[in-house]
Structure formats: C-alpha cells, structure tokens
Structure 1
Amino acid sequence: METFGIQHYQAFLLASMALNLTPGLDTFYILTRSGREGHAIGMAAALGINAGCIVHTLAAVLGISAILMTSALAFSVLKYLGAAYLIWIGARMLLSRATARQSTETRGMGFRAAFRQGMFTNVLNPKVALFFLAFLPQFVSMHALHPQLGLLLLGLSFIGTGLTWSTVLALMGGRIHRLLTTRPQLGQWMDRVCGTVLLAFGIKLALQQRS
C-alpha cells in the first residue's frame, strides 16, 4: 500500500460502504429493472452501473475528469446528454402499453439492454465523474512512487463494495418481480411510478451546477 501511496484504507472502505448504501439513482434503477424483469436483469443493470464506475475511475486516474471541473462546456454537454437519456428512459416507461407484459426479448429489453442502460446512466452523469475525482485522491499521497495505481486500486475497491450492495438490491428486486407476475396491474402502476421518478432524476440532473 505504501508504494501506491494509499492512506487510511480502512476509513476509505467504511466511507465507500456508507456511500453505496445511500439511496440514489443507481439504487432505484437496479430495483426497477429487477422488479420488472427478475433478479438476473437486475444483476445486468448492476454490472452496467459498476462498469460505468470503472470508466470514471480510469478517467480520474488519467486526469480526464479534471476537464469537467475546469470546462463549463464539457460539464454542460455531458450533463444534458445524461439528463436527456434519463428522460428518454422515463418517458418510454410512462408510455409503455399495458399489454406489453411479454418476455424481455420480445420487448427489446433483456440482459444487454439493462447492462447498457445502467452503464450509460452512470457514465453520462458528470457529478459521478467529479465525485471520483474529488473522493479518491483524499486517500492517496501524490508523493508515492505510483499514485496512479493507488487511485486505481481505491476505485476498484469502491466498485467492489458497490457491486456487493448492488447484488443485494438485485435479489431484493427479484422478490418484487415474483409478486408482480401474479398481479399484472401492480406492474403497470410500477412502470408509471418508475417512469415518473426517472424523469425527475433527468430534470434534476439538467438543473445541477458544477459546484
């Protein structure tokens, strides 16, 4: 750890677990996908979100995330892309027909779609990029031989705790899915509620500032 400049690793892990347990867009998205399509699809969403975290970790290590902090244009472009994507997903859920209780394959959804959407909702959120840029360096000494490797290891550790909690959420959503399969009307209401919440997340992201 000293070679990589990592400091107070135990405190970092505790902070990571606390942050992962805090409800947010990722939590809601995993529960939504697993609740509507089963725990396997929820796991796909979880893997996609954590793949997005890998992208943010690499961006922080390479210094790319710093561009978002210094460039208002770059921040705004990414922010509005992310907001538009969330609004699009939410609108699709709101406008989905009540008859679309078919298999995930015939609805154009499924494992790959859940993974892709999970990854994009994470990657296109500039606040997540700035979080990794601000959070990871607090636990790494820049005077170490390989501080970039220290940042990478911390990012992977954060992802490890996040993936563990994401798995729990996917399993919880799977229980909701079993309930919804016996009560289709509840599923229709869930689509409407989830679509509305995703729209709200999109609007909130569009209104966010860098500070």
Structure 2
Amino acid sequence: MIYLVSRSISQGRRAGLISLAGTGVGFVVYMLMANLGLAIVFVAVPWLFMGFKALGVLYLAYLAWQALRPGGRGVFDVREYPSDSSARLFRMGLVTNLLNPKVAIMYLTLIPQFIDPDHGHQTVQGLTLGTIQICVSIVVNALIVIGAGGIAMFLRQRPRWANWQRRATGILLAAVALMLAREVPDRAQI
C-alpha cells in the first residue's frame, strides 16, 4: 500500500492505478502458485520466508527513520519524481507484490480453511476464493490510491498537520518493524 500511495502522490492517480494493476497480477501469480502447489516452497524452506521477512523489517525500519529523523519526510510528502512509463509502473507494482512472501502464505493458510471437499473440486474453490480476495483487494487499494492524492494536497496546505502525520507514521512504522522483528515463527506458524 505504501508503494501505491507513493506512486499516486508523486506521479498522480493514473500512475498509482497502473502500479495497482501490476500488484493485482502479482496476486494472481501467487494465487495460481498456491492452488497449483508451487508456493509450498515458503513453507518447506522457512529460512527463505525469514529472509524475505527480514528484508521487510529493514525496509519498514528505513521508512520509520526517514520519517522520524531531523528534517525527515513523511509518506504523504509531495515530491517531484521523474515520470515513469506505464510499463515500468506496472512492472514495479508486480515486482513489489511478488517480493511479499506473506501473500503466498495467506493463500496457503487462510483460503484452504474455507474450502469444503464436499462442495466440488478443491482447486476451483481455491481459485474462486482467491479471485474474490483479489477483487476486494484491488477495490480497497484503488480507493487508497485515489484518496492518497487528496490527503497529500490537504497536508501540503497544512504544514503543522503534515508534521504530526510524519511523526505518527514514523512511530507506527517503527512499531510494526519491531513487532515483525520480534516474531520468531515456528514451522507451525509458517
């Protein structure tokens, strides 16, 4: 979501929505992998999952530092970036989502709880539930992308609010990074 918000703020809603299309394709890839049994790698090789998780913790800690350091910048600070092509925005959204192993874990652990072998083919049920999840996720993220530009403009016109938002966001990002770093999942949790 932070990636999508940053694209929407820096390059406009169109860029955010194109990036969202890329993340949506990433969801489809993970859903297909999970339903075809390929995403089991993250469960079978827990150190791989932990490596991705460690990278995520470091990234959140970096974002928190960026927001909390003296002269730091908040997530909703409007910045000028060179415009990326539609293909690059799409590709970056796809790669960002594919580097999130928790998506694969979600498809492997959450969706199977709602599959009933007595109600038809399990793969079809998994694909159906995954498709519903993807649709809901895309709608929610699209609303976030559309709203991010408005929030950025609101904060740009109110520097005191922007400062408060930057600090609150930095503290929340640091808290999430610490919580994720403290989690030491055993094989049952993965």
Q: Deviations over 1:56-109 (max 9, x none)?
A: 313312323323234332232222122222223333333484699664316x99
Q: Does 1:166 align with 2:135?
A: no
Q: Is the 8 A contact 1:93 1:191 kept in 2?
A: yes
Question: CA–CA distance in 2 between the matches of 1:137 and 1:86?
Answer: 30
Q: Who is 1:186 aligned against? A: 161
3-state SS of 2:110 partner = helix
Q: 1:71 aligns with which of 41, 45, 48?
A: 45
Residues 163 and 102 of structure 1: is their aligned pair in 2 closer, same or farther, counting only changes over 3 Å? closer
Question: CA–CA distance in 1 between the matches of 2:60 and 2:129?
Answer: 28
Tell me the TM-score normalized by structure 2.
0.67
Residues 145 and 83 of structure 1: is their aligned pair in 2 closer, same or farther, counting only changes over 3 Å? same
Q: Is the 8 A contact 2:9 2:152 kept in 1?
A: yes
Name the Cα RMSD after superposition. Answer: 4.1
Tell me the TM-score normalized by structure 1.
0.62
- In the alignment, structure 1 segments of 5+ residues that lack a partner are 1-25
Question: CA–CA distance in 1 between the matches of 2:174 and 2:85?
Answer: 21
**Percent identity, aligned pairs only?**
25
Q: Deviations over 1:111-165 (max 9, x none)?
A: 8679847963x54444432221122233445689964354233322211111112
Amino acid at match of 2:52: L
- In the alignment, structure 2 segments of 5+ residues that lack a partner are none
3-state SS of 2:61 partner = helix
Q: Is the 8 A contact 1:35 1:177 kept in 2?
A: no
